[in-house]
Amino acid sequence: MYDLLAGLSVIEASSFVASPTAGLYCAQMGAEVIRVDQIGGGPDFRRWPVTDANDSLYWENLNRAKKSVALDLGRPEGRELLQALVRATGQFVTNFPVGGFLSHDLLAEGRPDLVTVRVMGWADGSPALDYTVNNSVGYPMLTGAGPDPVNHVLPAWDLLTGAYAAFALLAAIQRRSVTGEGGEVRLPLSDVAIGTVANLGGIAEVLYSGANRPRLGNAVYGLFGRDFVTRDGQRTMIVVVTPRQWANLIAALGLGDAIAVIEGERGVSFAKDDGLRFEHRDALYPLFERAIAARDHAGLAAAFDAGGIVHSPYRTMHDAVQDPALVAGNPIFGQADNPSGFAYPAAGAFATLPQQERRPPASAPRNGQHSEEILSERLSLSSGEIARLVDTGVVGVGAGGEDGL
């Protein structure tokens, strides 16, 4: 938790990964992020992984440091309260549909400087999710050794969309601070995906070559990088991106003479050219396979570290979480009082600001935990009015309700 965004308040009506992470990143930088949730939770409130009590470990991590106002969004009165909160606040992040009761034009009535950031599936409003967008742009057909397509497990498109949404929110606020004008920012997962294919040169590549890139398994396209297995059976990734790393790698493996022979036979120099190291992988890979298969991992890792060589053994997520450099000794983590009651390291902002004090991570809210506070503060509702809304089931306050929250 840092305070870069102190003073900024954002209403968030969102589910799944992309839109919640946009709010999360803002909250971890000090913004007040107010989720407006369906009473009892929205469509992702019980999403796996869950505890034995069916509390979602997914939801409680994607929504740290936020507040929760619970409303019955199926009823006109609940919808009007959400609209009123958006208008009273002026900044809104959502993945609700373009049309309907949360359309920007409707919300901007009475609040013309409203900034709305809306995560979408396809740009035309039809539904899409990370896994289907990924298929649509072709990555599963390039992933793995083949022949079957492999979907990545990391929801990469959701995550990229969420971070870009946070960026776009601040950019739109920056413009408003100059011009006074608000507006809507629409961010379809499909455009993030195909735009990224373009940014990485993928559109140019397939049109230039007229073909798809070959499948490479765990090898990296266009440079020297691949997985190798050591004598003691540790599979490890090695990637070379600088001349120094290349020189140190072949020195560490004692491959200088063998590589000089290949360079002589083929009339090339690998010293400074990523592309040549990739192009001649038929000759290089077997050399490295043999050299690495003759050594144990521990010794190799020490030599690689000394040479500034980029490498990493494959490990499971459970093993990763035990790594003190990643978690226990990492200042981005701290303890928080989670709604599930389960205690574990909680993440704060990814970034570290050496000049600022990092405050500990905060917990996610309970459903409706801040309903009374926010409805009173933002909409000046009296305690009597709020009590009536709670009694009639329009507002939830984090006690009672279908889940006993």
Residues 272-291 interacting with its own copies (rule: CB under 8 A): 273-275, 278
Nearer to its own copies, 199 or 380 (CB): 199
Can residue 58 be called a binding residue for its own copies (CB under 8 A)?
A: yes
Footprint on residues 151-170 left by its own copies (CB under 8 A) = 151-156, 159-161, 163-164, 166-168, 170
Can residue 51 be called a binding residue for its own copies (CB under 8 A)?
A: yes
Name residues whose C-beta falls within 8 Å of residue 35's C-beta, 6 or more positions apart in sequence.
12, 13, 14, 23, 63, 66, 67, 68, 69, 365
Sign of CA dihedral 265, 270, 274, 277: positive
Footprint on residues 292-351 left by its own copies (CB under 8 A) = 305, 308, 310-321, 323, 325-327, 330, 332-333, 338, 340, 342, 344-351
Q: Is 158 a catalytic residue?
A: yes
Q: Which of 74, 180, 208, 267 binds its own copies (CB under 8 A)?
A: 208
Catalytic residue among 37, 72, 158, 274: 158
Distance in angstroms (rounded) separating the CA atoms of residues 72 and 393: 7
Footprint on residues 103-132 left by its own copies (CB under 8 A) = 104, 121-124, 126-129, 131-132
Residue with tokens 């409203």: 114
Q: How long is the chain? A: 405
Sign of CA dihedral 251, 252, 257, 262: negative
Nearer to its own copies, 65 or 253 (CB): 65
Footprint on residues 357-396 left by its own copies (CB under 8 A) = none
Q: At what angle do helices 371-379 and 383-391 cross, to 10 degrees?
A: 130
Q: Which of 53, 100, 180, 199 binds its own copies (CB under 8 A)?
A: 199
Pairing outcome for strands 67-71 and 395-396: antiparallel
Query: Of the candidates 246, 232, 251, 252, which has an alpha carbon nearest to the alpha carbon of residue 294?
Result: 232
Q: Which of 218, 234, 263, 283 binds its own copies (CB under 8 A)?
A: 218
Question: In angstroms, what is the minimal distance from the CB of 218 to its own copies?
Answer: 5
Q: Which of 1, 84, 150, 247 binds its own copies (CB under 8 A)?
A: 150
Nearer to its own copies, 79 or 358 (CB): 358
Query: Of the candidates 111, 87, 98, which has an alpha carbon nearest to the alpha carbon of residue 186?
Result: 98
Q: Which of 39, 102, 192, 395 binds its own copies (CB under 8 A)?
A: 192
206 burial level (CB within 10 Å; 0-12, 13-18, 19+): middle
Can residue 138 be called a binding residue for its own copies (CB under 8 A)?
A: yes
Check: CB of residue 187 under 8 Å from CB of residue 119. yes
Q: Which of 335, 356, 382, 383 binds its own copies (CB under 8 A)?
A: 356
Can residue 56 be called a binding residue for its own copies (CB under 8 A)?
A: yes
The residues annotated with a catalytic role in the active site are 158
